[in-house]
Structure 1
């Protein structure tokens, strides 16, 4: 009887040893990634078989344990046959376990081989996909003003198609078109086409970065800010007048002076890409007898504030035009601008952001172009704006803006400054879609112009 009990206990211990490694084996197999449906199905079948064998083994072990520890171990032939049958079943379970273990090891080996072989291919594919970053957005709007102008009604205000391509870890380029340009919003117009090169890459600060091509001016905060991010439908009047198109053609360098600041300086064509004098000349290059422009600036920032000071200097070429059948000579003038801007997040409460910008300069205001210019000489110009934005919650946003533009502040006899007040409400349908309702009221010091405007716009971006 002692021999039989020892045999039973040995068999039970052996079976328990076999199943002690079973859960770990099943868990380890589940950790291996696989993309093949056939392999997944096979592995699932094997797991089911193992679970069934585990339950069967537990039942056999329980029966043998009860038989060995009851103290009433039978000695007749029937009891001995029962014990032999249980031991035989245990041996059969053990053999099946060995086979399943071997099958799972083969499957795991196949998965590992496939992963090792395909991983570089997958990594290369992902890297190729990340080289191109899409940046499209659409502005469809209903516009109404007191002027009863041809721009009123439904229109596609902007349809920007853009892409930023990574050429190598240090080099990237950005290309953007607006395919809703022109008087009928049916033309394509180049917006951005520039390359960015990290001379000295840095993950802690700007490092040293070189940018060249047609790109936004790094002056103030509004010229650089995307139309897809602004709270109001259009930029302030002074920026649209003195830097039409918001972009120039040139090259500049950014240099990170610390983790919270950088300086920047560059060389540009004299006029912005959509300046009336530039477009009137029907050329993309720097106008003859115009000095190249230059800019320099510094910016400080943190998670709560952003402050910038920058300056731009160039020359506006002179021209001749006909007035009352007589030739009028308009002289060349120097262009000088200083921008000071700032933003502060958390005014009274964390959800409120205050922005402000001041532009002080001297230029011949390009209104009227070269055919019917409003200004024949350089004047002192002043423009500024302040904006308060309240992010009510993740979907609702309310903004208020005041702007001021005086194209001839040095004259006391000519009053032509313009003031503007605006309110804008935005509802975010989702992070990539929003509806904006804005109303702006303008007041001119000179003859009053009925140009109050209401805009309802929906934006989708990718």
Structure 2
């Protein structure tokens, strides 16, 4: 009997270790909880139906549609997160399993002070600590996707490197600061040169002292990095047209990749329901290729790829988003309203794109109006209905002389554990 009792106790403890913790972290750069525990398994599954306005469109709402398809079922995210926390350290490992296969999302180790955990050192693969929405988990975010600007500037959000974070628990607990050194090539590419990128972020969060109903958050971020040029040419914009810079010494030139951002979060817990407003603005210089501002373009030209090298284009970009959510009369319904803009070249008018100035489709500005609602069935299940109206102003480029028919409707079912 004693042996059986011990065995049952061990089995019970084993399953208790596997049960997800009740309070999960809304930050991707943290374990499910910093309370010491052996193994915690958390995650979420997002399965959805989408209908596009046209077949085969390019989309930032879950990826491009297939050539002959405007309707699709996809697994948008299938996250499985495993973490362990002790007095001095923690480890986080997360994968994403969808119809496209299994990908590594997070893999990092954290070291911290055993008492306050105010100072945390993180090393491995983690979300870039830039702004508010990048680190905020997609399992908790009300809107189906991050804004177009962040999907372009920091695709898949992650990078490999090291980070030092400061979040005191004393009188200065309203401050959070991060300083990271990353490879700059993103989570899915090799570190292609000896240069490293630096990311700095500072955030402030305050709650009203009187009734705790009003919450204010704001912060600023900076990204200082480079992208290697592998040809004798690169292009800069002088305010009117692109200028070709040609020299044999441009092979190996490190083009500036600089971002500056600010963000704001407001929340009011009123009698009608929780009201939340969030906004971020980012501007700077983005290296890309002729037809795209994404930095995945020039990475294909590195020595480990069989593709030919491609000239870099340095563009002065600008982007922002405005997110508004309103809980409906203390019910399980929440109304969603969003507007975001990404302008790859803020110094070039849309009506001038396609003229004899070297401009391409990579210079076109897009704005997106999103609206919909969520229904929270319980603490684990959420249903989202959301429509995105995507607009690009007419240009002189063939294929872009009028607004593209690229709106997308999404119906999503999410289960989080």
Q: 1:460 aligns to what?
A: 415
User: Is residue 429 from structure 1 mapped to residue 377 from structure 2 by the alignment?
Assistant: yes
Q: 1:295 aligns to what?
A: 199
User: Is residue 255 from structure 1 mapped to residue 173 from structure 2 by the alignment?
Assistant: no
- CA–CA distance in 2 between the matches of 1:227 and 1:313? 26
Structure 1 residues 288 and 200, CA, compared in 2 at 3 Å: closer, same or farther? same
User: Is residue 340 from structure 1 mapped to residue 245 from structure 2 by the alignment?
Assistant: no
How far off is 1:320 after superposition?
A: 4.3
Q: Tell me which of 31, 34, 45 is aligned to 1:138.
A: 45
- CA–CA distance in 1 between the matches of 2:147 and 2:311? 20
Within a 5 Å distance, the mapping from 1:353-392 to structure 2 comes to 353-365=276-288, 366-367=293-294, 369-370=297-298, 376-392=312-328
How far off is 1:273 after superposition?
A: 2.1
- The structure with more radius of gyration: 1
Whether the aligned pair in 1 keeps the contact of 2:281 and 2:320 (CA below 8 Å) is yes
Q: Which moved further from structure 2: 388-397 or 150-159? A: 150-159
Which structure exhibits the higher relative contact order, with contacts defined as CA atoms closer than 8 Å and separated by 6 or more residues? 2
Instruction: Give aligned pairs, total.
Output: 328
Q: Tell me which of 270, 273, 284 is aligned to 2:187.
A: 273
- CA–CA distance in 2 between the matches of 1:250 and 1:137? 26
- CA–CA distance in 1 between the matches of 2:222 and 2:151? 17
Whether the aligned pair in 2 keeps the contact of 1:200 and 1:208 (CA below 8 Å) is no
Structure 1 residues 364 and 351, CA, compared in 2 at 3 Å: closer, same or farther? same
- CA–CA distance in 2 between the matches of 1:127 and 1:230? 28
How far off is 1:343 after superposition?
A: 0.6
Q: 2:342 aligns to what?
A: 405
Structure 1 residues 199 and 340, CA, compared in 2 at 3 Å: closer, same or farther? same
How far off is 1:194 after superposition?
A: 0.8
Greater helix share, structure number: 1
Within a 5 Å distance, the mapping from 1:37-436 to structure 2 comes to 130-149=37-56, 150-151=65-66, 152-166=71-85, 168-180=86-98, 185-199=99-113, 201-202=115-116, 207-256=118-167, 258-274=172-188, 278=189, 283=190, 286-288=191-193, 291-303=195-207, 304-320=215-231, 332-346=254-268, 351-365=274-288, 366-367=293-294, 369-370=297-298, 376-392=312-328, 393-412=330-349, 413-414=352-353, 416-436=364-384
Structure 1 residues without counterparts, runs of 5 or longer: 1-35, 37-114
DSSP-derived class of the 1:319 partner: coil
Give TM-score scaled by structure 2 length: 0.71
How far off is 1:238 after superposition?
A: 0.6
Whether the aligned pair in 2 keeps the contact of 1:364 and 1:375 (CA below 8 Å) is no
Whether the aligned pair in 1 keeps the contact of 2:89 and 2:111 (CA below 8 Å) is yes
DSSP-derived class of the 2:312 partner: coil
Structure 1 residues 125 and 436, CA, compared in 2 at 3 Å: closer, same or farther? closer
1:64-104 C-alpha deviation (Å, 9 max, x unpaired): xxxxxxxxxxxxxxxxxxxxxxxxxxxxxxxxxxxxxxxxx
Greater strand share, structure number: 2
How far off is 1:127 after superposition?
A: 8.5
Whether the aligned pair in 2 keeps the contact of 1:442 and 1:452 (CA below 8 Å) is yes
How far off is 1:305 after superposition?
A: 1.4
How far off is 1:186 after superposition?
A: 3.6
The alignment's C-alpha RMSD in Å is 3.3
Q: 2:406 aligns to what?
A: 451
How far off is 1:383 after superposition?
A: 0.8
